Amino acid sequence: MEARFVLSFLCMTGVYVESNPGPLEDVIIDRYFVPTVCPREVESGDYVRYHYNGTFTDGKKFDSSHDRGTPFSGQVGLGRQITGMDRGIQGMCVNERRRITVPPHLAYGSLGAGNVIPPDTTLVFDVVMLDIWNMADKVQMRILSKGQDCKRTVQNSDFVRYHYNGTLLDGTPFDSSYNRQQTYDTYVGQDWLIKGMEEGLLGMCVGEKRNIIIPPFLAYGEKGYGTEIPPHASLIFDVLLVDLHNPKDDITVENQVVPESCSRKSVVGDYIRYHYNATFLDGRQFDSSYQRNNTYNTYIGMGYVIAGMDKALQGVCMGEKRRITMPPHLAYGENGAGKDIPGSAVLVFDIHVIDFHNPKDTVEIQITHKPEECNLTSSVDDLIHYHYNCSLMDGTLLFSSKDYENPQEVVLGADKVIDGLDEGLRGMCVGERRVLIIPPHLGHGERGVNGVPGSAVLHFQLELVGIQKGVPEGYLFVWLKDTPSELFQALDLNNDNEVPPEEFSEFIKAQVAEGKGRLRPGQDPDSVIQSMFTNQDRNKDGKITAEELKLKVDEDAEKARHEEL
C-alpha cells in the first residue's frame, strides 16, 4: 500500500516545496554505466519506460518498480513525475544506469509523502532506462543485407513468409520465429499485422535482412501484448524475408535455353522426361532429380503433377532448359507437402527437358543423304548391314556399331531389333544415311533395358552399307525365275531316279550362281541347303525321289505344307 502511495506522488503534476533562503542544491547524477552505442538520449517531451529502486541516503528502500514487476512509464518534462526525476533522466540512453540523488525541494519538500517519505528527505534513485520514444517518431528501418537477385519487392496485398527475432528496446527478447522453426506467414496491408511491421516490410526483397524499430503507438500501444510485451514498449525486429507472392500471380518462365532445332513442342497428352533442381525463393534446395540420378517422368496437362508444373511443361522443346517460378496456389498451397515444403511456399524449378513423346507417335525419319543412283532398297526379309549411333535425345551416347569390328547385320522383319529401328531401316539404298527418332513404345518401352532408361525416346544415326535380298518368312530358298518344267529331272544329274545330298547341293548352288534362285541370307549356305534336303527327304533315307518331291498333303486334307521346290 505504501509503495502505491509513493508511486502516485512520483507521478504528481505538482509538489509543494517550502521556500528556504540561500542557494538550492540540484540533483546529483552518477552515470555508473553508459552503453557504448547510444542512438538517442532522453529529451523533454519524450516518453520513457524505466525501472528504479528508491532509497533514502542511509540505503533504506522505500519503493521499487522491480519489486512490482512493472516499470515506470510517462512523459518527460511536463511535471508528470517529481522534478528531480524529470531533470535526472534527461540525456539518458537506453540501458544506461544512473544513480540520481534528489534533494528535498526537487522531491516531496517539507510535506513528505504520507507515512512513507518524511518531510525534507533526500531521495536516491537507481535507474535503468528501458525505452525512449516520441509521438513524432516513425518506423526506423535499416537494411542489414540485401538479397542477391531482387526481381520484386513487398507491396500491399502481397503474402509474405519471414523469420524474425523480436526484442524490446533494451534488448530483452520477447519472441522468435527461429525458436519455433517456422516462418511467420501473413498478408501485408490488410491489418493482419501491427502497423509498424506492415510499414517495415514494404519494399523488402526475398533474402533481404532488415532491422526494424517500431514505436509503441505503431505496435501494441498502451496495452502491450500478453506478459512478454509491456505497455508503451518500442519493439525491434530483425527480419529475414523468405518468401513473397501475390494471390494473383501466375507462373513465370525465365532463363530459357531453347535448342536451335525444335521439330515440335510438347502438348497436352504427351509423356515427358525431365531433370530438375527445386529450390525456394531464398535459394534453399528441397529436391533434385539429379541427386536420384533419375528423370521425373509424367504425362502433361492431365493432373499428374502440380498445376503450375503441368502448365509450365506445355510448349517446351526437347533439350530446352527453363526456370519456372510457381506461386503456392499453383503448387502445394497453404498446407505445403510433408516436412520439406512449408505451407504457402513459392517454388522455383530449374528444369531440363530430356525428351517427350505421345503414345500415338510414329517413327520420325529424316533422310540426311541419299545416293544419286538407288536401284535396290531394303525391305522385309532382307539381310542388311549397317552402321549406327544410338543416343538419348540429350546427346548421351548409348550404343555404336563402331564398338564392333564389322557393321551390324539383321534380317528385317525377323523381330531381331526394336520395332522402330526395323521400320526405319526399310526402304534404304546402300550408302543412304538417316536419322530416326523412335518413341519408347516402338523402342525399349517404359521399363527400358540395360543402359536405356524407361520411356526414353531414342535418336539413331544410320548408314546402310549392304543389302542381301531375302526370302519370305518360313522359306529357305525362292526362285527368281521360272522353275524348270521337269524339276526332278533337273535335280537328278546322273539320271538314276534318285537325288542324293551331293546332287541336290550342286543343283541349288548352280541356281544361285546363275541368278535363278536365292537362299535365305545370313546363314551358312551349306546348312540352309541341308535343311532344304531334309525337308524333301520325307522318308529320311538319304535321297529324294520323284514321289517325295511332290506336294505332301496333311492327313486331314485341309492344309498343305509349302515346299521351296
Average pLDDT of the segment spanning 373-392:
94
Mean residue pLDDT of the chain comes to: 90
Beta carbons of 421 and 440 less than 8 angstroms apart: no
Q: Choosing from 164, 299, 349, 460, which is the catalytic residue?
A: 164
d(CA 533, CA 509): 13
Closest CA to 240 of 283, 212, 214, 207: 207
Share of the chain above pLDDT 70, in %: 93
Residues 28, 120, 194, 225: which is the catalytic one?
194
Q: What is the mean pLDDT of residues 385-401?
A: 95
Contact between residue 271 and residue 358 where contact means Cβ atoms under 8 Å apart: yes
Measure the CA–CA gap between 253 and 272, rounded to whole angstroms: 18
164 catalytic, yes or no? yes
Radius of gyration of the chain (CA): 48
Lowest average pLDDT, out of 3-17, 98-112, 426-440, goes to 3-17
384 is known as an active-site residue? no
Q: What pLDDT does residue 410 have? A: 93
DSSP 328: G
Length of the chain: 565
- The yes-or-no answer on residue 386 being catalytic is no
What is the predicted pLDDT for the residue at 148?
Answer: 83
Q: What is the pLDDT of residue 484?
A: 86
Long-range contacts of the stretch 173-178 (C-beta < 8 A, 24+): 174/228, 174/229, 174/235, 175/228
The 3-state secondary structure of 211-273 reads EEEECHHHCCHHHCECCCECCCCCEEEEEEEEEEECCCCCCEEEEEECCCCCCCCCCCCCEEE
Cell of 496: 538314276
**19: pLDDT confidence band, cut at 50, 70 and 90?**
very low
Whether residue 5 is predicted with pLDDT greater than 50 in this model: the reply is no
* List of E strands, 393-520: 397-400, 408-411, 433-438, 458-468, 477-479, 517-519
Confidence band of 16 (pLDDT split at 50, 70, 90): very low
Given the residues 52, 159, 237, 332, the one annotated as active site? 237
pLDDT per residue as tens digits for the range 352-372: 999 999 999 999 999 999 999
With a cut of 70, say whether residue 237 has pLDDT above it: yes
Worst-scoring range by mean pLDDT, 72-86, 279-293, 425-439, 543-557? Answer: 543-557
- DSSP assignment string, 62-118: EEEHHHHT--EEEESSSSSS-HHHHHHTTT--TT-EEEEEE-GGGTTTTT-BTTTB-
- Looking at residues 102-126, what average pLDDT do you find? 96
pLDDT at 23: 55
Whether pLDDT at 512 is above 90: no
Interaxial angle between packed helices 525-536 and 501-513, expressed in degrees from 0 to 180 and rounded to the nearest 10: 120
Residue 22 pLDDT greater than 80, yes or no: no
**pLDDT greater at residue 80 or residue 236:** 236
- 184 catalytic? Reply is no
Least confident of 123-127, 326-330, 506-510: 506-510
Please tell me which residue in 220, 299, 356, 488 is annotated as part of the active site: 220
Give me the pLDDT at residue 565, please.
65
Average pLDDT over residues 216-220: 98
- Do the Cβ atoms of 98 and 53 come closer than 8 Å? no
- The residue among 23 and 475 whose pLDDT is bigger is 475
Q: What is the pLDDT of residue 460?
A: 97
Q: In this structure, what DSSP letter does residue 329 have? A: G
Q: Is the pLDDT of residue 85 over 50?
A: yes
As given in the structure block, the three cell numbers for residue 336 are 505445403
Burial (CB < 10 A; 0-12, 13-18, 19+), residue 90, is middle
Please, are residues 100 and 50 in contact by the beta-carbon 8 Å criterion? no
Residue 53: its pLDDT value, please?
98
What is the grid cell recorded at 174?
520477447
Question: 158, 175, 310, 382: which is the annotated catalytic residue?
Answer: 175
Place of cell 520395332: 419
Active site residue 299: no
The active-site residue, picked from 5, 56, 174, 187, is: 174
351 forms beta bridges with: 276, 322
Active site includes 508? no
